Chain A
Amino acid sequence: MIVFSIRRLFAALLTAWVASIIAFVLFWTVPNVDPSYWLGGGDKGTNATRALATEKYGLDDPLPVQYVRLMKNIVSGDVECFYGCANLRSAFLDALPATVSLVLGAALLSVGLGVWLALICVRHRGRWPDRVITSAAAAVYSVPSIVLGALLWAFVADKWGWFPNEGYVPLTDNPFGWVHHLVLPWIAAGLPFAGAYVLVVRASLLNGVNDDWVRTARAKGLSEQRVIRRHVLRTALIPPVNVWGLDFSHAFGGFALYVEAIFHVPGVGFLTADTVGSFDLPPIVALGIYLAVVVVVAGALVDIAIAWLDPRIRRAMPST
């Protein structure tokens, strides 16, 4: 187990390292994306200011040297912004709790709701509760969370004022305020996923209702509810868990970006979306790499948790 964890974390860091190289190559060497142009004053710059900027930031150095320098800055957080900015690493770390709260809450909501509704579906399979829940799930799944978020924010929070329309309160300061600020983002981010999970878990459960050990359990005279909860659910959750793991790690660079932008939650997604709008290259690269590290580490943690639950995976080689 420990060997597996170390290996998986190592693979994650390797992925992050390759990603940092790709980000560097993308932003520093793509034709026309020339840092000296920006540092030299953009459109208003002259050849002289550009030469000065090239000199100051060492843009004539060999690319590997520039790469190492940029990475050092990114690790310490003191990235040279073209338009000036505070220490990015501390800004990122300050913003991280809000995003973790958002993603964890949305994950709990979507998985909890998904499994619960799927269980109801399977208990009444083929009858009206099953049909109603399945079609509702398919409909909810078709509402992109960006639309759901925009509508919730615009009407429920901004127009009718039932919930705050911006900000974040740390859990440790005021648990009620924390929930109050995050309920709508949780719904916006979690509900479409819940719709998808109902369908996935239901399909997986239905696959298992006729397995041998399930028939044995029924033959023993256990109640249908007990059979499904204790015997079908356990094995049926294995395929969806992998989907959840991927969705969970992707959330940090996925819905976190726009849900935080819509609800003005000061998390890492909001920070990134804000920075992207400024077209300031080094901080964009830095935030992209920070987010990539969060994504791959979250992915590794999820894989380790799955391996802890399912011994068969532990023995297999972890992939990147």
Chain B
Amino acid sequence: MILLALLAAPLYASEIAHTTSSENHLTDRVVVDGKPSDVVALDSTPIGPTWHRAYFLGADYNGRDLMVRLLYGARTSLLVGAGAVALSFLLGIPLALAAGYRRGRTDAVIIRIFDLLWSFPALLLGVLLSTALTIRGVQIGPVSIGSGSRLIPISVIGLVYVPYIARPLRGQVLALREQPFVEAARASGMRASALMRSELMPHLWSTLLVLSAIMMVNAVALEVALSFLGAGINPPEPSLGTLIEDGLTKTARSPHLLLAPSIALVLIVLTLNGLAEAFRRALDPHGALGLGLVRGE
């Protein structure tokens, strides 16, 4: 529900709060409980939560509506997370199928590369990759990504997590390929690519579903960490990471700037963890997939 509600962020911004995520309202006044008050007071302290239509959660030091920024920020974080997970599936599934099914030299090469990536922390890889890409943007053939684009964190996080998806999948494919039905398909002369698609893939869906929820948590957490360190989403575009970074030093006078994004992030992670747990209970009651806690920071 929380996740669905976030998709309605632009609607909230335009219909209820009448502002956008980066509009400044330094000199505006707002009526709270019948009294007019400054959005940003004379000593530059922004207004706290009003619990009214405008500035529901208060404003930041530029007079921007925190609720609107939070909704947009959470949406950006989730979009980046979902995009990254999709990308790592797109790369990880074919690699896992190839490695697990063909075995031999293909497997050895792929698994070496994964082991190499695996032995480095995702955050360090992510920071280095995204710095390299962010400095002047990327131009690979016809694809051109600007240095402030969301596609950079998406592709960085997606690439970093490929081994985290491919390793458990490869293990499953290795077990599946010895099953009689796969042998039967092979004996009947089925081509390897068709066999992977129509015989192996159907058995991987449940793993994929559970993995996608787990990886989504990791991807969102990594986005937050990257943005926090200044190597992810660039200000003024809000994301949970930049909002937390922004609120961190301002708690003395405006605790709402840190509390709101922190609580939002915890809620999102709790929801996603709950989702992962529900998928796992429904699809893998005996823990046969052996996923355990797939984590990566």
A254-B297, A284-B131 are known contacts. Are A142 and B266 too (CB-CB below 8 A)? Answer: yes
Taking A196-B293, A250-B120, A320-B119 as given, write out 20 further A-B residue pairs in contact, using a Cβ cutoff of 8 Å, ordered by the A residue number. Answer: A15-B116, A33-B135, A139-B270, A144-B221, A150-B244, A153-B248, A155-B251, A196-B295, A250-B122, A250-B296, A253-B120, A253-B121, A253-B123, A253-B124, A254-B122, A262-B248, A276-B127, A277-B230, A284-B128, A292-B124
A18-B116, A250-B297 are known contacts. Are A30 and B138 too (CB-CB below 8 A)? Answer: yes
Quick check: A254 and B123 within 8 Å, CB to CB? Answer: yes
Quick check: B124 and A295 within 8 Å, CB to CB? Answer: yes
Is A31 in contact with chain B by the CB < 8 A criterion?
yes
Quick check: A154 and B251 within 8 Å, CB to CB? Answer: yes
Chain A residue numbers with a CB within 8 Å of B244 are: 146-147, 150
Chain A residue numbers with a CB within 8 Å of B270 are: 139, 142
Alpha-carbon separation in the docked complex, A142 to B216 (Å): 13
Quick check: A320 and B116 within 8 Å, CB to CB? Answer: yes
Is B35 in contact with chain A by the CB < 8 A criterion?
no
Main secondary structure of the interface of B (DSSP, over half): helix
Quick check: B293 and A255 within 8 Å, CB to CB? Answer: no
Q: What's the least CB distance linking A271 to chain B, in Å? A: 12
Quick check: A31 and B139 within 8 Å, CB to CB? Answer: yes
| B-contacting residues, A132-148, CB 8 Å | 138-139, 141-144, 146-147
A19-B120, A276-B229, A320-B115 are known contacts. Are A143 and B127 too (CB-CB below 8 A)? Answer: no
| A-contacting residues, B129-148, CB 8 Å | 129, 131-133, 135-140
Alpha-carbon separation in the docked complex, A218 to B133 (Å): 61
CB-CB nearest in chain B for A243? B293
Quick check: A200 and B133 within 8 Å, CB to CB? Answer: no
For the complex, count residues of B whose C-beta is within 8 A of A: 50
Is A174 in contact with chain B by the CB < 8 A criterion?
no
Contact code string A248-260 (vs B, CB < 8 Å = 1, else 0): 0111111101100
Is B231 in contact with chain A by the CB < 8 A criterion?
yes
Alpha-carbon separation in the docked complex, A34 to B137 (Å): 11
Main secondary structure of the interface of A (DSSP, over half): helix
A138-B273, A147-B244, A254-B122 are known contacts. Are A200 and B292 too (CB-CB below 8 A)? Answer: yes
Q: List 16 A-B contacts (CB under 8 A).
A: A23-B128, A31-B138, A32-B135, A32-B136, A142-B269, A146-B244, A154-B248, A155-B251, A199-B293, A253-B120, A254-B124, A254-B297, A273-B127, A296-B119, A320-B112, A320-B115
Contact code string A34-61 (vs B, CB < 8 Å = 1, else 0): 1001000000000000000000000000
CB-CB nearest in chain B for A14? B116
CB-CB nearest in chain A for B133? A30
Chain A residue numbers with a CB within 8 Å of B132 are: 26-27, 30, 33
Alpha-carbon separation in the docked complex, A95 to B269 (Å): 33
Alpha-carbon separation in the docked complex, A151 to B266 (Å): 12
Contact code string A148-172 (vs B, CB < 8 Å = 1, else 0): 0011011100110000000000000
Partner of A142, one of B248, B273, B292, B295: B273
Q: What's the least CB distance linking A74 to chain B, in Å? A: 14
CB-CB nearest in chain B for A255? B297
A30-B133, A32-B138 are known contacts. Are A146 and B124 too (CB-CB below 8 A)? Answer: no
Is A99 in contact with chain B by the CB < 8 A criterion?
no
Q: Give the interface of B toward A (CB within 8 A).
A: 112, 115-116, 119-125, 127-129, 131-133, 135-140, 221, 224-225, 228-231, 241, 244, 247-249, 251-252, 255, 258-259, 262, 265-266, 269-270, 273, 292-293, 295-297
Quick check: B228 and A258 within 8 Å, CB to CB? Answer: yes
A258-B229, A273-B229 are known contacts. Are A299 and B127 too (CB-CB below 8 A)? Answer: no
Q: What's the least CB distance linking A317 to chain B, in Å? A: 12
CB-CB nearest in chain A for B129? A26
Alpha-carbon separation in the docked complex, A2 to B140 (Å): 47
Is A223 in contact with chain B by the CB < 8 A criterion?
no
Most buried by A among B121, B248, B252, B273: B121
Partner of B251, one of A158, A243, A320: A158
Quick check: B262 and A150 within 8 Å, CB to CB? Answer: yes
Partner of A257, one of B127, B136, B247: B127
Chain A residue numbers with a CB within 8 Å of B112 are: 320
Alpha-carbon separation in the docked complex, A292 to B124 (Å): 8
Alpha-carbon separation in the docked complex, A1 to B187 (Å): 46
A146-B228, A273-B229 are known contacts. Are A32 and B139 too (CB-CB below 8 A)? Answer: yes
Q: What's the least CB distance linking A69 to chain B, in Å? A: 19
Most buried by A among B138, B224, B228: B228
Chain B residue numbers with a CB within 8 Å of A284 are: 128, 131
CB-CB nearest in chain B for A19? B120
Alpha-carbon separation in the docked complex, A23 to B124 (Å): 12
| B-contacting residues, A118-133, CB 8 Å | none
Quick check: B269 and A291 within 8 Å, CB to CB? Answer: no
Chain B residue numbers with a CB within 8 Å of A158 are: 249, 251-252
